[in-house]
Amino acid sequence: SQTIHQWPATLVQPVGSPLSLECTVEGTSNPNLYWYRQAAGRGLQLLFYSVGIGQISSEVPQNLSASRPQDRQFILSSKKLLLSDSGFYLCACARNYGYTFGSGTRLTVV
């Protein structure tokens, strides 16, 4: 079965600082990978998805970017964080039916 590793679990960053969140997947090859964000008390917003190495689709224009340097590695980045980037970031992997989600990173921008 698939396992998704996300780190760190929590992160506090000042406004204007860079961001790099990493997600790695075990137990599958050539998966579709996703980054979601959940603002406090809100639903999940799809940010990026990738169907293969180097292939990134952006759902929401913003100051975040994503990269997929390896088959089972998906990275979410920002050059300069905004207060509005605070939220719960989740990486997900598609499987035969449905998705498997990671445990998430709670980002607070101060």
Contacts with another protein by CB under 8 A lie at 32, 34, 36, 42-46, 49, 51, 57, 59, 88, 90, 92, 94, 97-104, 106
Q: Minimum distance between the CB of residue 6 and another protein, rounded to whole angstroms? A: 8
Residue number with CB closer to another protein (77 or 88): 88
Residue number with CB closer to another protein (36 or 74): 36
60, 76 contact by CB (below 8 A): no
Query: What are the structure tokens assigned to 98, written together?
Result: 């449905």
Amino acid identity for residue 27 in this structure: G
The count of other CB atoms within 10 Å of the CB of residue 15 is 12
Residue number with CB closer to another protein (14 or 41): 41
